[in-house]
Chains A and B, each alone.
Chain A
Amino acid sequence: MLDQTAVEKLDVEAVNKGAKQNAQPLYAARQKVHPKRAEGTYRRLKWIIMAVTLGIYYITPWLRWDRGPHAPDQAVLIDMANRRFYFFFVEIWPQEFIYIAGLLVMAGVGLFLITSVVGRAWCGYTCPQTVWTDLFLVIERFFEGDRNARIRLDKEPWTGSKIAKKLAKHATWLVIAVATGGAWIFYFADAPTLAYNFATGQAPFIAYATVAVLTATTYVFGGIMREQVCIYMCPWPRIQAAMLDENSLVVTYNDWRGEPRMRGQKKAKAQGLLPGDCVDCNACVAVCPTGIDIRDGQQLECITCALCIDACDAVMDKVGHERGLISYATLADYNHNMRVAMGGENSGAIDPSNVRDQNGNFVDAIRGFKWREMLRLRTIIYTAAWAAIGIALLIALGTRDRLEVNVLHDRNPVFTTLSDGSIRNGYTVKILNMVAEPRTITLTLDGLPGAVMAINGIDAEPGTTFDIPVEPDKLRPLRVFVSQPRDMVAPGSTPFSFIVEEGEAGETDIYNANFEAPE
């Protein structure tokens, strides 16, 4: 075993520790958390995820996508004014909102799936609150140094250098906050145009208001409130308990090999004590962004960011133990190993001699995580549901109509008798040309003997077929009068069809309408 003195014992206490809160006032002031910088596998993964998510957020509105001269060339655009949503090759009309709803359902099921497999991975890695807090912490460390320096600085009187550091930090935070709010609005209008108008003061008031609100929330949530948002404002920590089961991987302090925790293990051994692996260095507490002690067990405040795993692994490397004193583990494995450590009992003291053999290796009864545990009924059902919705959406998207006709029959009057005794019905026919190019749509009246139609505003002899030019990506409403000669009129209601066709693409749509005549 290596020299214990190589591991620094950190002077730190978990500010959100249960017992600590037990002073039990009615209201408790927030105790500032000063997370120490962590290094390791998970921290690297989090840097990558942060870069990717922030990159997607900031760059997406600037991507271009050529849709021809009649539609915007912004790859992702929510065009509120024209009621259109563009996503690369997909264009959604308001009545196709079902696709967005489907995506939201997928996101929900996906969240259930991820949570049942690896716990609050969303919270720990991809939640904007986590990503921006991480980013704000980078700024904080840059100006004020790491944990100990920051604690010292906070205790110092307000000197010029302290004011300068704090000012620089808050100014940088504000710049990021403005950029965050600024990026948001570009999803709702042409980004380059809006950027120019925004800078020159010509953008609409709502753009400035949105940026102001998002600047404030980003600054306050990412810079000042941080873990308070997760602990007190977010509902997910309350819901997650229902999503987890005993086979979910969660960040776990493995008491069964860590206890009894002890500092100065050499000395202890010399005294005949058998220490666990935990050297009680508090590194896990120092890096925790929500200010908890993971060794107290799973708790509401833990966002499973896994930084304590990185911190502990580094210490385990130094002291020559296996990594994974704090690890992703399932409750089932943990309970099993605990029983082993307690000599087969469900409670009692942990005895390290039950865990390791004389060579210092784990005994065979100790269980580690097996990938197979991820495959269980719950995760399979979630995956199947998620995939089924996804496939259904893709099929629906691939086969959806880009030409539609909707018809509204006049109710007042239901029919009109004309001079020559023929019967006329009025309809509002709406032709939807859902592609971004002008098209001539053929409207045909089908299945009503002898009937002809006339269309308001279109100068042509009444007939059964009309060529209707429709503007790109537009709906064209038509007032259509259908009349049937007196001797062909059937009493009551007669079904017939309006058919729209587009020659080139061979698209067609049918609306089954009724023709009403006196009984």
Chain B
Amino acid sequence: MADDKKDIDAVSGVETTGHEWDGIKELNNPLPRWWLWTFYATIVWTIGYTIAYPAWPGITGATAGVLGWSSRGQLAEEMDAARAEQAVYLSRIEQADVNAIAADPELVQFAVAGGSSAFKVYCVQCHGSGAAGGEGYPNLNDDDWIWGGTLEDIAWTIRHGIRHEPDLDTRFNDMPAYGRDQILDRDQISDVAWYVRQMSGQEYDEEAAARGAETFEIECSACHGIDGEGVPELGGPRLNDAIWLYGGSHAEIVAQINNPQQGVMPAWGDRLGETTVKQLAVYVHQLGGGQ
């Protein structure tokens, strides 16, 4: 205010602050005293609060608070509680075999959730986050299973891996390198490839395929089946379908016969434990292709 005289508002008889906006003056009514006390009470509260809870920073850390609370501790408590809840289901899963789990909707729900989260940690690197795989890495959503698609087959594959030699029960087979090792000549390989094209319902060279059929029966049918229907017990992939792990063009088939690529998968049984393996099997089985 410009002068020492108090500016009194005529209508209310209350002193103003001297602040004026467009003719409207701010009254300087006294604050209620209880408001002041409430303010002091909040200050007292903060003192108590900083004693009870972690608050004051120091050189190497903060005061711990007499209640001993910490956000880390609270997280640990919540995790323990969650683990205790999970333990009930996990022990049921541990005791049941995979088919029994699949027959219990409650356990299926738990196993799918648990399997899904384990899948995202251990499996997505090769099979992809949607389990759709890629070239050389099998798609787990489809109905084509190299080593069998029942719950037990899937569980076994996960547990012991594929061509994982330290595990004696691992899935293992070996396709000969027909070209590299000169078991078949170039023309024979090309003919067999045309025959494989024929059995999988793709365009093919009729004459070559007819010649290849004979070679197929002698060299390939033991593992891939007479009609290319596959032999899951031996891990012989099905050839008379629309699904190709290493490609279905003539050149790609020739390359595979010539010098086969063979995928590997680690054995997860010892690393993840049986309950996780079972959950993974249930999860993979329900992706749409399980048998």
Contacts and interface: CB of A to CB of B under 8 A. Distances in A.
A489 to B, nearest CB: 11
A457 B105 contact: yes
Given A21-B14, A418-B242, A27 B32 contact: yes
A416 B201 contact: no
A199 to B, nearest CB: 29
A18 B286 CA distance: 77
Interface in A154-199: none
Nearest to A24: B15
A136 to B, nearest CB: 18
Nearest to B238: A419
A481 B288 contact: yes
Contacts of B108: 457
Given A412-B130, A456-B286, A419 B34 contact: no
B242 A419 contact: yes
Interface string A390-420: 0000000000000000000011110011111
B198 interface: no
Contact of A417 (B105, B142, B238): B142
Contacts of A426: 141, 288
Interface string A8-24: 00000000001101101
Contact of A26 (B6, B31, B289): B31
B241 interface: yes
A421 B29 contact: no
The size class of the interface chain B forms with chain A is: 35 or more
Interface in B121-177: 128-132, 139, 141-144
Contact of B30 (A24, A411, A421): A24
A28 B33 contact: yes
A238 interface: no
A418 B144 CA distance: 7
B117 interface: no
A29 B13 CA distance: 19
Interface residues of A, number: 31
A22 B238 contact: no
B12 interface: yes
Contacts, number: 90
Nearest to B31: A27
A479 B13 CA distance: 75
Contact of B29 (A21, A417, A419): A21
Nearest to A23: B30
A411 B11 CA distance: 70
Contacts of B131: 413
A30 B288 CA distance: 74
A22 B30 CA distance: 9
A232 interface: yes
A300 to B, nearest CB: 10
Nearest to B12: A18
B258 to A, nearest CB: 25
Contacts of B86: none
A419 to B, nearest CB: 4
A419 B130 contact: no
21 contacts: A21-B14, A22-B8, A22-B14, A27-B35, A28-B32, A29-B33, A30-B33, A228-B34, A232-B35, A412-B128, A412-B129, A412-B130, A416-B139, A417-B142, A418-B143, A419-B142, A419-B143, A421-B241, A424-B288, A426-B288, A457-B105
Interface of A: 18-19, 21-22, 24-30, 225, 228, 232, 410-413, 416-421, 424, 426, 456-457, 479, 481, 486
Query: Top 9 A-B pairs ranked by shortest CB distance?
Result: A412-B130, A419-B241, A413-B132, A421-B242, A28-B30, A19-B13, A18-B12, A416-B141, A27-B33
Interface of B: 6, 8, 11-15, 28-36, 105, 108, 128-132, 139, 141-144, 201, 238, 241-243, 286, 288-289
